[in-house]
Each structure stands twice: as C-alpha cells, then as structure tokens.
Amino acid sequence: MTFFIDRQLTGPYGGYDWLYMQGPFSANPLPSQGLQSPLVPRQQYRQGLAALASYCKTTFAGRGFAELSADEQDKLLTGLEKGEVKLPNFDSRMLFQLVYANTMEGFFADPIYGGNRDMVGWKLVGFPGTRYDYRDVIAKPNQVYTLPPVGLQGRPAWTVGEKP
Amino acid sequence: MNGARLAAICGAVLFSHAALAEPDNYVEAARGKALITAGDCVACHTAPGGQSYAGGLALDTPFGAIMTPNLTPDPTTGLGNWTADDFYHAMHEGIGRDGQHLYPAFPYTAFTKVTRADSDAIFAYLRTLPAVVNAVDRNSLPFPFDIRAAMIGWNALFFTPGTFTPDPKRSDEFNRGAYLVEGLGHCGTCHTPMNAFGANKADVFLQANQIDNWIAPNITDDARLGLGAWSVEEIMQYLSTGQTANTVASGPMADVIVHSTSQMPQTDLHAIAVYLKQRGAAGSATPAVLAASDPHMQSGAAIYVDTCAACHTTSGAGIEHAFPRLAKDPAVQQDDPASLIRVVLAGTRAVATNAEPTALAMPSLGYRLTDAQVADVLTYVRNSWGNAAAAVAASDVAKLRTEVGGPVNAATP
Amino acid sequence: MSRRLPSKDVVIVGLGWTGSIMAYELAKTGLDVVAIERGPWRDTASDFNIGTAPDELRYAIRQDMFLRPKQESITMRNNLSQTALPIRKWGSFLPGNGVGGAGVHWNGQTWRFLPDDFRIRSHMTEKYGAAIMPENNLIQDWPVSYADLEPHYDRFERVAGISGKAGNINGKIIPGGNTWEGARSRDYPTPPLRQGYAQDLFTKAATDRGLHPFPRPSANLSTAYTNTYGCRMGPCTYCGFCEWFGCANYSKASPQTCVLPVLVREKTFEARTNCEVTKVNLATDGKTATGVMYVDEQGQEWEQPADLVLVCAFSLFNVRLLLLSGIGKPYDPNTGEGVVGKNYAYQTGTGSTAYFEDAKFNPFAAAGSLGVALDDFNSDNFDHGPLGFVGGASITCAYTNGRPISYHPTPPGTPTWGSAWKKAVKETYQRVTSVGAQGSVMSYRGNYLDLDPTYKDPLGRPLMRMTFDYKDNERKMSGFMADRCDEIAKAMGAKQTVVKKLVGPWSVVPYQTTHNTGGAIMGSDPKTSVLNRYLQSWDVSNVFVMGASAFPQNAGYNPTGTVGALTYWALDAIKTYLKAPGPLVQA
C-alpha cells in the first residue's frame, strides 16, 4: 500500500499538476466549493504525517503510530475521521480523508499501480477486472461469475507454469 | 557510338514510336494510365512526401537499399530522353537506356510478359506527366552488389524474357487474369517464395512469402492456406474495397488496394479472381492440430478470452466488416506466422477506401504481452475453431520484436 | 505578436460531436473548413487501446481524459451573496477535451425531449394556471417544436446507430417501447441492448404498478452497424468501462466511430489540435465576425480569418467564448438585463438504493446506457396539479459499471473501514442496485454564468463564474421522484432501501452529471435570448453556436440527443445562410 502511495505521489497526482492551483486560496471556503487548500498531496502527507507523529509522541508517551496497539490505532483513526482528534497545525480530517482515499484507490486499482496485489481487492468483491467482454454474463442473468479476475498486465493463467 | 545502335534509334524515330506524347495521343495515354494503375508503379516510384512517379523511394532488398528512378519526362533526371523502345527494353529485358542492367527489385521478371503495345501505352502516359527534377542515386548498393553486370549471371539462372502467351485451353477471361497477375500486377513478386538470390521460385508461384516482415499469403486456390474458401465475388470485393465481410487488407497490401486494385475496372478484377481460383490449389500439408490441453494452448486460451474476444469473439467468428474472422481463416494459418506476430506486437490499421472508409485498427499489444504470451495466444488461435497450423515460439516473437517498432500504418487515403 | 493566416470559408471552434458533424457536412460540399481544438488528437486504437482503456484509477479517479482544470476551470458559488472560488478539481461535472470531446467518454444515453418540453411555459400555464410557475423563473418556450426537430433527431440517431425500441411510430403506440414519446417517423436503427437481472426485476415491478418501462435508448450499440456516412461499428460487449473512458472496440457512438473516418478523407478539411481559441474576432462595428484568434502549443498567437464561425466548444465554454469576445450583452441578475450567461441550468439526480437479500446482479457487466426506464413521471405525463412543482424526471434502473474504487457499496450503518467494512463490502457488491430519477432543472434569475473578477486561466483570461443552486421547485420535484423510485425499488423485492434526495446547497464535490445547459439560449426574442431559432447569434449573424448552451431550461433527460438534432437542424439553416448570408430571422 505504501508502495502504491509512494508511486502516486511521484506522479502528477502528487503535485496536483493537472488541477487549478492558482491563488488566491480562501481561508473560509464553503463546503459546496470543495477542495480549496493550496497543499498538494506530497505536502499533505509530509505535514500530516509529521503532525500525527508529533501528536502520538505527546499523547502516547513517546510511542509512534506503528507502536500503538491495534485498539489504540483504531480509536485514533476514528478520532481523526470525525475530527475529534486535534493534530498540531494540521486538519485531522484532511489527513484521514487523504489516507483513506488513497488506500481505497490502492486496494481497488489495477495491480499495475502497486496495490491490489494478486488482485486481492478485486477478489474480495468479485470484480473481474479488465476482461472487456461480458456478453455471456448478460445473456445469463443472476448467475455466479466464475472466471478469475484479470488486470492490465494479465493474470497467472496467461503464463505457462505460473501458479494461479 | 555503336553504328548498329544508331541505326536502331533512327529506325525507332522513323517508325512512328513517338518520343513525345502528342495532343492526339489521348486514347493511348488513357490506356496507359489504366495499365500503370494495374502495375501499381506509383507505389515504388514515389518517395514519401515526394511527387508521384518522380522516384527516390528506398526499396529495401536483402542486399541493401535501391533507390527507384524518376519516371517523369525530365531530360536530365528522368526519362525525358528515352524512347518507347528504351522503355520496352527495360520492361521486357531489364536493361536500361544506357545498357545498364536493372536490378530485379524492378520486377522485370514479371513485366517481361507485358505486350509491346501495353508498354508503349504506359510510356505514353508517363510522357504526359509534368517533368520533375529529381536526381536519384542509382548506385546505392554496397559492394559487390553494385556491380550491375552481375545481373547477367542472375538473369541467366533465374530469368527468361518472353511476352505472355495465352493458354488456348483456358478461357479468354482466365488468360486476361493470368496476364494481369503474372505480368503488370507482378503479384508473384510479393506472394511467391524467394531463393537466397532474391529470385521468386517459379515452382511455388503464389504460395506465400515473407517480405518486409509481413507475410504475403498463399493466393492459390488452397482451402486452408489460400483462396479456396473464397468466392470470385469475395476476391473482387477485397481488391476493390479492401475488405470482405470476414477479412480486411492492411500492411503493404493496403497500399496496393488504394493505388492499384481499387481503381481497376470490375472486369479486370473478375478476370484476376477467375484466374486465381481456376489455376488450382497448392500449399503445404495440414499439420496435426494442437490439443486444447497443451499448456501453451491453455495459456493462449486465457489470454484470448481476456484480450482478444472483445473484438474477435470467443468463437473466433469476428464481427462482419469490423473485426476479422479468425476461425478457418487462411491468413491465420500461413506456415510463417510473421504477419500475426507483428500485428499483435504493433497493431495495424485496416485500409481505407471510398467504399469502406472506416479503417478500424487493431491496437498494439506488444507492451502488454511477453514474447511467450504472444506466442501462446497465436498458437491458440492457429489451432482452434478448425484452424491447424504450426505453433509459434517465443523466440520467433523475440526476433520480430526487434524489427517491428511502433504503430504500423496502412496506406493513407 | 499574432500572425495572420490565409482565410477559410468556415472556422469551427472545438472538434467534438457538433464540431465533427458540422465539419464533415460542410467540407463535403467543397467548403474550406478548419477546426481548431485545444486538446489532442484522439484515435481509438492508439488512445483507447484495449490494454490501456479499462483503467479506473487513471481515467475515472485521476481524470486523465477530461479537460485539465489547470488549462481551464470555472469558479463557483451558490448565490450572489457569496464569493466564487475555482473548482480546483472536477467533481460535479466533468468537461471533455481533445478531438471527440465528451463524445469520447460519455455514457451514450440518447434521448429525444418530449413534445411538451418544447413549450413548457405555455403548456403548464394553460393547463395549471400561472401560479404553478416557480418564483423568479426565467422559463421560456423553445423557438422550435418537437415536430421541427423530429427528422433531425432521426438523422442524429442514424449517424450514431442508437439502439432502442420505438413506442410511437407515426401515432401508432407500440407496447414495450416508450409509449409516452413524441411520434417518431420510424424505429431506432438498431435493436435495444440486452438488459441485466436488476433491469428485469425493475421491468416487472414497474409493469405491475401500471407504469410503462422500456429499454433506454443507447449509443452503446446492440449489433454491428454501418451508419449513414458509411462508418462501421461493432457491438457493445458490456465491458463496464463506458462513462469517462474511450471505447476500445468501436461499439460506442462517438465522433471517432461515427464521423472522423470520413471527415479525415475530405480534402478541404483541416484540423489543428492543441490550439486554443482565445476569442472570436469582430469587425469594428461589432456585427460581423472576421475569424478567430488562437494560441498554439508553442504559445504563438495566430489569427484565422473566416467567413463563418461555428462555436462548438461545449455548452459552458461556448458561453465563456461569447463573453470574452463581446458577442451579445452579458446578463446581469441584479437588473435582469442582458442575455449571455442567462438561463443556466443543470440536472437533478435522486433515487433509491436497493439492498437485496440474495442476488447476483453482476454490476461489472454493464454499458453506459444499459437500463430500463420509464417516463410516467416525466414532462407533464402526470398530474402536476396537487404537487406544486413544474418539471419531471426519467426514472431508470441501470448499471453503468461496477468499478470498485468508486463502487463498493455497504448497507447503512457499516463502518467505513476495518474488518466489519471488509465483510460488508464482500457481501454487498453483488446485491445492490438502484432506481434513479434524472430530473429537469428550470431557469432562474439567480442561476447564471458570467466572468469571474479574480481568477484567470494560464493565458491571463478571466475564468467563467457559475452561480447556481437548486431551487425549491427542483427540490420538491426531485424529492417526489425519489419517493417514486423508492416505491419501485421496494416492489422489486429489496430487503432495505435508502432514499437519496437533494440535501443542502449544490456542491461541486460529488460527481452528479455533466449536463450543463443554457447560458447562450435560443429564443424568439433577442431581448431574452442569445441565438435565434437556427442557433444563429442575434448580434453577429455569421456566428452560430451549437450545443446545450442553447437550451432555455433543461428537461428530464440527457441532452446529447437534442444537441445532435439541433446540430442537423442548424446545418440545414446554415446551408440556406450560405446562399445569402445575413440574419435568418428578423429581430
């Protein structure tokens, strides 16, 4: 997952290269006006994760996020999600939304991007991937679909000797 | 100057082979235009971006690149000083105006069959073109191939000059088709296997050949490899529009369609089709079909259903006039799979004609599939749905990958 | 320093659907036509390669094929008391870019508006009295009727190959088709798409309730087809990568599949891509366009003179170009004067999500226009009297995709992450469908487009500002529709439904629809419209403006079918115009 996020951050997404990033940036945008922060994902991660580390250090007696128990982590994440946890100099909800969105993307995107390894995300829901032809499925409604998923780079059955 | 030659030239001038097209030469020049279309001379004698018939195209041969000459009537760089005799000498015997031997990249081995009258008509048409100054380097082959005199030996072994002789046992139409295919059409130049000296092997005429990393397929009446399952109408449709319901021209044949056959009269296309169908079938024996349980067939099947079926369908039937049929298709079963390999690696675009403008394209999949995967999916296609042809090896693919780069374009309109 | 080019007969701004159709139809008469497109050339096998096209992250999430907001965006606010801010990342709507425009990545839902839609003001007032009309509305009758456009709907449908089933051919009602539709002269060119399991449940539930479901007309073709221009298409394979993606197998109608193959063979046609038109140039009297100004990839400015200017840049960007070029008087909502930017409208989307105990809906087997719809609550097909709103909606049960980054539904109350989430996602994916209502939006005084005072594009020109919110009328109408959807969803056998209505101000964040209409409307009166009934500018008679910017208000349907019909309607008028240039309608 970190591999996926790292790679995304090095591309145009990481710098919001395709977005409209001219100022001025409003300090009080309406919720209906959407994304208005000047921080691009690279900055959001750097600053957000630093803020989280700082918060953990002071709140959990020097332990970092990775050293917390699973229960503590869950509680902290929920607090970030709801905005109840206040991070120093960073919007906790912004950090949570970013990590959540990127995690979902990595989990469900084509494996070529580094996440969804072995198509585990697709297998979870039963999404067949890039196969592109489902005339047979439409012809037989309400039936279980049995073919394994395939990605942009194929699937194990494409290669003689590769384990499925 | 040789006295005999002088006499011959004077004779030529005196005996009404006009050195220049005259205003009332229209009928002959128009006839020549139709003939030059059948011969598709423009394809070789035009450089990319250059003026038609002004030469300068680099023709790749196994011996090096030959630059095609300028056929426009420019006196210095073209045929301005040529006579009809000179032209016929070149067409019939492969010898240029100055006595230099021409290389058989200029298919005089086929054009020898063209009648004197037709040669004169083509020459008359060429004289009507605007003169274009284009000096072409006619000696571009590396040593020792630049020794044109070597063609004397080559001709002795592989060339017999002679005008086409109709076969009295065959219909007029068959003979017309034979004259076109064996002569001006020079179909054998691409479609007949070559020996190591670059000569087409007469005993396997039209039985498929690799050229420019494409396979010009078998066009005998063989059912598996050739036109055996095609009707005369389908052959005409292909030559005229670039496609039938189940297959489409692309690659070098696309150029032939656009510049030549799509502009020929239907009667000539009918004759060509009749000839090709009636001269008989020839081709290699059908190999044993590879079993579906073979691991390469299995991986090929998986690749096919994931990548190919969305166009070519799971039964290999394709979609009429859109995606070629693969089932029992001759192009798919040629002994040499080079065309298939390059089409999968680099994609290809169907020819566009006025009758069929769409020019659907096969996308390139070379980046997506490894050599082994390309080989396996082609092996699967070549041995499914009634097809039977030799398996494709990953090494075949690897070799072609180094030579085939980027998207491959059929001729533009 | 701009450089002037040799003159052309016609310059077309934008090479999408309307630009391609105009370019081909005019070039084939021998006119010298140049189309200037600010995005790249796009070709099926190169750009929608089957090995690269089905990539949700790239095209749906990162929005690779759309207009980059960096190149042009729009500022937005809900009402006049607010400060508009740029839409920094597209959400609510997704403008296209490049050759083919949004015609490349649309879903393909192709409708004809209903006859009453074209005279909604007169009709509703006559039938229900003036009091039913909403407060501050700017609703106008169209200056054309359904009957005027019928043959042109047919033309567009036959170029696109639309798959459907007629419900009314020359007055004969045909069950199984849309029995509410305006009379058609003939059936669709190809049969309807096959539908999925959810659609079968919807058909049965709706029919049992006395409603009239029918297969939604689709530009994803059910069979191979050769269109009017001789272009050949293949059949849709229900790949589920339709909207926001290019079609890899030539089965979605687009400029690429339907027009470009013959357009590129026209010797008098030229396309210039990656060139941005910055304005339409006017003669000093402001009454004639002399051509356009554009900037190429290297930043060099060029002047392209032309006798006729066709603005085909998509509804929103048409309006901006008119504002930047000074064609027509800009609308001022405070005074109510002016016309350019007025009557901006959009679309409502509400409905009900239906969770089933057991089903295998296979949502990934989908096409952009796969779906069964009903028009029983559209236009004035139902009694508005007791309801207190105008407008209506088409109601559909559809699957356009099951792509998991965006579509991984869970029942209400499920945590958003963790092991409980994982379990719910796994169990729910196959068991959810929805019934949706796509509803009309009327035009209002406070919903409009103008130039932003603060934000600029990379060329230094002001961005356009969009002031828009849903009004009470739309909230009421769409809420009513959501309830109707919910009734049907429950009748389909759902164990649980979740109703979705319009809540709060219109937000740019979630994707809704790219059906932006109005801003350069057609009308009978130059005081209240920008274009006459032939889409010709009232002010500059050699400028015609194609697209949904011409709609006086939006109906309960996707706009493309009507955009296509208006293009062919205007084409005929332009051919008349070319014989004797001048205003086609006396103001």
Q: List, for residues C538-584, the tens digit of each pLDDT value.
A: 999 999 999 999 999 999 999 999 999 999 999 999 999 999 999 99
ipTM entry: 0.96
**Cross-chain Cβ contact C405/A109 below 8 Å:** yes
Q: Is B242 on the interface with C (CB under 8 A)?
A: no
Instruction: Please indicate, yes or no, whether residues A63 and A92 belong to a single structural domain of this protein.
Output: yes
Chain C residue with minimum CA distance to B321: C232
pLDDT (mean) for C94-114: 97
In a domain, A10, yes or no: no
pLDDT confidence of residue B120: 96
| Whether the Cβ atoms of residue C194 and residue C372 lie closer than 8 Å to each other | no
Catalytic residue among C105, C212, C384, C515: C515
**Cross-chain Cβ contact B365/C239 below 8 Å:** no
| Whether the Cβ atoms of residue C99 and residue C37 lie closer than 8 Å to each other | yes
Instruction: Please indicate, yes or no, whether residues A152 and A90 belong to a single structural domain of this protein.
Output: no
Q: Is A21 on the interface with C (CB under 8 A)?
A: yes
Instruction: Please indicate, yes or no, whether residues A102 and A68 belong to a single structural domain of this protein.
Output: yes
pLDDT confidence of residue B43: 93
Best of B304, B306, B371, B392 to mutate (most A CBs within 10 Å, chain A):
B306
Q: What percent of chain C lies above the pLDDT cut of 90?
A: 99
pLDDT (mean) for B101-117: 93
Among A111, A96, A148, smallest CA distance to A127 is for A148
Q: What is the pLDDT of residues C348-384, one digit of tens each?
A: 999 999 999 999 999 999 999 999 999 999 999 999 9
In a domain, A158, yes or no: yes
Instruction: Please indicate, yes or no, whether residues A124 and A163 belong to a single structural domain of this protein.
Output: yes
How many Cβ pairs within 8 Å bridge chains B and C?
A: 70
Give the Cα-Cα-Cα angle C508, C556, C158 (nearest 5 degrees): 110
pLDDT (mean) for B306-323: 97
B4 — pLDDT class (breaks 50, 70, 90): low
Angle between helices B252-259 and B232-241 (to 10 degrees): 90
**Cross-chain Cβ contact C239/B359 below 8 Å:** no
Q: SS3 helix, strand, coil % of chain B, rounded to 5?
A: 45, 10, 50
pLDDT (mean) for C1-5: 92
Taking the CA of residue B366 and the nearest CA in chain A, the distance in Å comes to 11
Statement: residue A162 has pLDDT above 90? no
Q: Is C54 on the interface with B (CB under 8 A)?
A: no
pLDDT confidence of residue A154: 95
Structure-token pair, residue C478: 């769409």
Window 28-87 of A, Cβ < 8 Å to C: 29-36, 74, 77, 81
CA separation for the pair C486, B151 (Å, rounded): 86
- Residue C357: exposed, middle, or buried by beta-carbon count in 10 A (0-12, 13-18, 19+)? exposed
Instruction: Please indicate, yes or no, whether residues A99 and A125 belong to a single structural domain of this protein.
Output: no
Instruction: Please indicate, yes or no, whether residues A155 and A130 belong to a single structural domain of this protein.
Output: yes
Instruction: Please indicate, yes or no, whether residues A104 and A42 belong to a single structural domain of this protein.
Output: yes
In a domain, A152, yes or no: yes
**Cross-chain Cβ contact B361/C43 below 8 Å:** yes
Statement: residue B18 has pLDDT above 50? no
Taking the CA of residue B254 and the nearest CA in chain A, the distance in Å comes to 29
Structure-token pair, residue C563: 């955009």
**Cross-chain Cβ contact B373/A161 below 8 Å:** no
Q: What is the pLDDT of residues A119-131, one digit of tens each?
A: 999 999 999 999 9
Angle between helices B371-382 and B394-403 (to 10 degrees): 120
pLDDT confidence of residue B146: 81
Q: Is A149 on the interface with C (CB under 8 A)?
A: no
| Whether the Cβ atoms of residue C520 and residue C140 lie closer than 8 Å to each other | no
Q: Which domain holds residue A73?
A: 38-108
Q: What is the pLDDT of residues B372-394, one digit of tens each?
A: 999 999 999 999 999 999 999 99
CA separation for the pair C553, C471 (Å, rounded): 13
Of A108, A136, A154, the last residue of a domain is A108
In a domain, A126, yes or no: yes
| Whether the Cβ atoms of residue C541 and residue C280 lie closer than 8 Å to each other | no
B16 — pLDDT class (breaks 50, 70, 90): very low
Q: What is the pLDDT of residues B26-81, one digit of tens each?
A: 889 999 999 999 999 999 999 999 999 999 999 888 788 889 999 999 999 999 99
Structure-token pair, residue C274: 């990656």
How is residue B92 annotated by DSSP? H
Statement: residue B13 has pLDDT above 50? no
Q: Is C73 on the interface with A (CB under 8 A)?
A: yes
User: Dihedral of CA C196/A157/B344/B327: which sign?
Assistant: negative
Alpha helix positions (H), C192-351: 197-208, 255-258, 260-263, 315-325
Which residue has better confidence, C170 or B156?
C170
pLDDT confidence of residue B3: 53
| Whether the Cβ atoms of residue C138 and residue C445 lie closer than 8 Å to each other | yes
Of B138-142, C77-81, C182-186, which gets the smallest average pLDDT? Answer: B138-142
Closest partner CB to A135 (pick from C62, C83, C238)? C238
How is residue A20 annotated by DSSP? -
pLDDT confidence of residue C587: 77
Instruction: Please indicate, yes or no, whether residues A59 and A99 belong to a single structural domain of this protein.
Output: yes
Q: Is B22 on the interface with A (CB under 8 A)?
A: no
Window 225-254 of C, Cβ < 8 Å to A: 235, 237-241, 248-249
- Per the structure, how many domains does chain A have? 2
| Whether the Cβ atoms of residue C84 and residue C451 lie closer than 8 Å to each other | no
Structure-token pair, residue A48: 């957000």
Closest partner CB to B373 (pick from A133, A152, A159)? A159
- Residue A139: exposed, middle, or buried by beta-carbon count in 10 A (0-12, 13-18, 19+)? exposed
Written as one string, the DSSP assignment of C89-114 is S--S-----STTTHHHH---B--PPP
pLDDT confidence of residue C311: 98
B23 — pLDDT class (breaks 50, 70, 90): low
**Cross-chain Cβ contact C261/B349 below 8 Å:** no
Q: Is B362 on the interface with C (CB under 8 A)?
A: yes
Chain A residue with minimum CA distance to B368: A153
Statement: residue A2 has pLDDT above 90? no
Closest partner CB to B323 (pick from C231, C234, C265)? C234
pLDDT confidence of residue B17: 41
Instruction: Please indicate, yes or no, whether residues A49 and A101 belong to a single structural domain of this protein.
Output: yes
pLDDT (mean) for A2-6: 92
Statement: residue C532 has pLDDT above 80? yes
pLDDT confidence of residue B25: 79
Q: Chain A partners of C408 at a C-beta cutoff of 8 Å?
A: 104, 108, 125
Q: CA C16 → CA C65, C255, C262, C273, C564, distances in Å?
A: 13, 7, 15, 12, 11
Mean pLDDT of chain C: 97
pLDDT confidence of residue B412: 26
Residue-wise burial string across B347-362, b where 16 or more C-beta atoms lie within 10 A, e elsewhere: bbbbbbbeebbbbbbb
Of A69, A85, A108, the last residue of a domain is A108
pLDDT (mean) for C175-180: 96
CA separation for the pair C347, C38 (Å, rounded): 27
Those residues with Cβ within 8 angstroms of residue C331's Cβ, 6 or more apart along the chain or in another chain: C337, C338, C339, C340, C341, C342, C448, C449, C450
CA separation for the pair B219, B227 (Å, rounded): 6
Of A65, A82, A108, the last residue of a domain is A108
Q: Chain B partners of A147 at a C-beta cutoff of 8 Å?
A: 305
Q: Is C453 on the interface with A (CB under 8 A)?
A: no
pLDDT confidence of residue B60: 82
pLDDT confidence of residue B151: 86
pLDDT (mean) for B223-246: 97
Written as one string, the DSSP assignment of C462-492 is EEEEEE----HHHHHHHHHHHHHHHHHHHHT
CA separation for the pair A156, A163 (Å, rounded): 6
Q: Chain A partners of C510 at a C-beta cutoff of 8 Å?
A: none
Q: CA A80 → CA A28, A87, A98, A129, B120, distances in Å?
A: 21, 8, 11, 32, 90
Within 10 A of A97 (CB to CB), how many other CB atoms are there?
14
**Cross-chain Cβ contact A131/B296 below 8 Å:** no
**Cross-chain Cβ contact B347/C45 below 8 Å:** yes
Q: Is A129 on the interface with C (CB under 8 A)?
A: yes
Q: Chain C partners of A82 at a C-beta cutoff of 8 Å?
A: none
Q: What is the pLDDT of residues B137-153, one digit of tens each?
A: 888 888 777 888 888 88
Alpha helix positions (H), B129-194: 150-158, 172-179, 187-191
Q: Which amino acid is at B174?
A: F
Within 10 A of B109 (CB to CB), how many other CB atoms are there?
22
Q: Chain A partners of B397 at a C-beta cutoff of 8 Å?
A: none
Alpha helix positions (H), C129-170: 146-160
Q: Is C382 on the interface with A (CB under 8 A)?
A: no
Chain C residue with minimum CA distance to B407: C46
CA separation for the pair B179, B264 (Å, rounded): 14
Closest partner CB to C232 (pick from B321, B367, B368)? B321
pLDDT confidence of residue B153: 85
Q: Chain B partners of A145 at a C-beta cutoff of 8 Å?
A: none
pTM of the predicted structure, to 2 decimals: 0.94
CA separation for the pair C487, C480 (Å, rounded): 11
Q: Chain A partners of C417 at a C-beta cutoff of 8 Å?
A: 77, 100, 103
Taking the CA of residue A154 and the nearest CA in chain C, the distance in Å comes to 9
Q: Chain C partners of B310 at a C-beta cutoff of 8 Å?
A: 50, 237, 239, 248-249
In a domain, A61, yes or no: yes
Q: Is C147 on the interface with B (CB under 8 A)?
A: no
In a domain, A20, yes or no: no
How far does Cα C171 stand from its chain's mean position?
28
Q: What is the pLDDT of residues C114-146, one digit of tens each?
A: 999 999 999 999 999 999 999 999 999 999 999
Instruction: Please indicate, yes or no, whether residues A103 and A43 belong to a single structural domain of this protein.
Output: yes
In a domain, A163, yes or no: yes
In a domain, A17, yes or no: no
Statement: residue A109 has pLDDT above 50? yes
Closest partner CB to B320 (pick from C45, C49, C224)? C224
Catalytic (active site) residue C408: no
Closest partner CB to A20 (pick from C69, C248, C249)? C69
| Whether the Cβ atoms of residue A14 and residue A8 lie closer than 8 Å to each other | yes
Those residues with Cβ within 8 angstroms of residue C522's Cβ, 6 or more apart along the chain or in another chain: C142, C143, C144, C529, C530, C531, C532, C533, C535, C550, C551, C552, C566
Instruction: Please indicate, yes or no, whether residues A125 and A102 belong to a single structural domain of this protein.
Output: no
Q: Chain B partners of C239 at a C-beta cutoff of 8 Å?
A: 310
Q: What percent of chain C lies above the pLDDT cut of 70?
A: 100
Which residue has better confidence, B411 or C571?
C571
Q: CA C485 → CA B384, C359, C373, C374, distances in Å?
A: 48, 19, 11, 11
